[in-house]
Chains A and B, each alone.
Chain A
């Protein structure tokens, strides 16, 4: 990187600076935030899980005795808020109820447990993968330790024990303990422990090893490692021993003191679990078991750290590739839309052209009709004019004839007749389109008289036209 100028060297301080308080700062921060510890108890019903929890934490977690008739294994988590001096602990105890009780002790015994553990990992992973996340507020429910209760037969591990522990060892820190240890004699116990450990080793079960890398705790841890599995006795009842009240179990033949190291390993368990290695258990859960789960899950989902060329994925590259993809998609969509638009335009254009053409045709058609009509009308007009001329000629001829005939006879009565004849002539000629004049004159007197005085007006006057059938027919 162009900025770094790393001259990492050890520097000696000229005086007290004060950052040695950093661990304390961190610790006090955790104290105010509080922290969680989650224990999973797996063992047959009645083996003493709840009693042991009560003894370990010196309190009474409210619980009723579990029934032996559970139909399936189910996990029952219960969370308690404990406080000691200024430390707040959110303790969750998860019970595998019904474990080992079924007649058929097959897969279904273990899978609910595995599922539960995985679900807690999954929830944490989801929170971690969120874009807006609040991990420091998150109540961590991942199981930090699994206490596996071994039935004190004195012989060896049951096959259910081996199967269960094998399934769980890669998911959680397992601490095997021998329950109700006061039912085994000292020598039996010794042999039992050796047998158990060798069976675990030969079956490849990885139980939790107390850490021996830190000098402060290496010694005590390695000693404890040799005492595994711890043979414990739990009791919440107090018995007077000497002049003290101690937690113990009172039998007719004697008292088994819980906190007496020669009686059982309870103190060792408490030391290891709470007072020495609690933080390490939490850390192992987070950095080993959780990371494994996370890696498997992410790989399952198809994520990779390196691309096909084994080059590490750069965030920038991924971003660029995704961006290119997205832009490409965008462009494609744009093209499609543009194409669609163009097509639509073309279609509409074609439609419009079609309509235009149709209109044009119609127009032409109408024009032609109109022309046709005009022509017909012209023709008729010409005919009419011809007839008018013919009529006028006849009229003139008739008038001359009439005046000639009138001069021959008396004038007055003929005037009337003349008028009558004139009128009838007029009417007759007006109405008659026929060719023969005299015939027309005679026949047409029976026709109704027109209202209009002249023929031109008569043509234009619709009422006149209507009154005379022949005109109407001819005109049409």
Chain B
């Protein structure tokens, strides 16, 4: 139908914006990688604040835990009127043992637990107006800067987790690689992922239209 004059439908966008700003946002990310790869530093840099406690602070007796443990820290941050409840889940102990079989199991369990918690709230008869969302929205996976290939541990982990959560692989401490090495490494990693059919974020099958795909292809 053709509109003959201005109606004002687009005002609804502002209405929505106001509503979302009032509601606030919840964002939960998980950082996974061996100790010493700079996970906490990166998170702090990302959010320009002391979000995570660094593991290697003087005077702190922190030993590598025997099994993978998950620690969550929640902060409320605000920027230009937008409130965000940020939760960062750390996974000390991942990949640090001699035998790392199934070290991803506690992580998968945690992620599924959050999903179940949400589902339980959702299927209640009298449910809350706003269900608290603790589901992991993104998982940042730190790949050590070997410059060669993805290790079997990396592949296994990403393969399993990309099925249940958005995985964003990053090359940690990239300043230890020259630019050419870095480009090569990146390419090899992309190849590896494709060969093993691991779909990391942004996933191809979630592209909603050509614009999305163009944007995401560049990221990929």
Contacts and interface: CB of A to CB of B under 8 A. Distances in A.
Given A270-B8, A315-B120, A279 B82 contact: no
A5 interface: yes
A14 B48 contact: yes
A437 interface: no
B3 A283 contact: no
Interface string B7-41: 11111110111111110010100000000000000
A19 B76 contact: no
Contacts of A59: 1-4
B218 interface: no
Interface in A1-28: 1, 3-20, 22-24, 26-27
Contact of B15 (A5, A14, A276, A303): A276
B70 interface: yes
B17 A274 contact: no
B72 interface: yes
A146 to B, nearest CB: 19
Chain A interface main SS type: mixed
Contacts of B6: 58, 84
Contact of B126 (A4, A61, A295): A295
Given A31-B13, A279-B16, A315-B116, A20 B82 contact: yes
B72 A13 contact: no
A202 interface: no
A347 interface: no
B151 interface: no
B49 A12 contact: yes
A298 interface: yes
Interface in A178-219: 214, 216-217
B191 interface: no
Given A13-B47, A278-B12, A22 B20 contact: yes
A35 B208 CA distance: 15
A4 B89 CA distance: 9
Interface residues of A, number: 68
A31 B78 CA distance: 25
Given A19-B84, A22-B82, A27-B16, A5 B73 contact: yes
B129 A23 contact: no
A298 to B, nearest CB: 5
A27 B125 contact: no
A8 B6 CA distance: 46
Interface in B101-144: 110, 113, 116, 119-120, 124-127, 129
Contacts, number: 167
Given A10-B75, A11-B76, A295-B125, A89 B13 contact: no
Contact of B11 (A274, A299, A314): A274
A371 interface: no
Nearest to A28: B13
B79 A58 contact: no
Given A23-B82, A303-B125, A17 B15 contact: no
Given A6-B72, A27-B16, A274-B12, A56 B7 contact: yes
B37 to A, nearest CB: 21
Given A22-B84, A291-B127, 6 more contacts: A8-B85, A9-B75, A16-B48, A59-B2, A214-B22, A287-B129
18 contacts: A3-B89, A6-B73, A9-B76, A10-B77, A11-B47, A11-B51, A14-B48, A23-B21, A23-B82, A26-B16, A58-B6, A84-B10, A217-B18, A274-B8, A279-B12, A280-B15, A298-B125, A305-B124
Interface of A: 1, 3-20, 22-24, 26-27, 30-33, 35, 56-61, 80-87, 89, 214, 216-217, 270-271, 274-280, 283, 287, 291, 294-295, 298-299, 303-305, 314-315
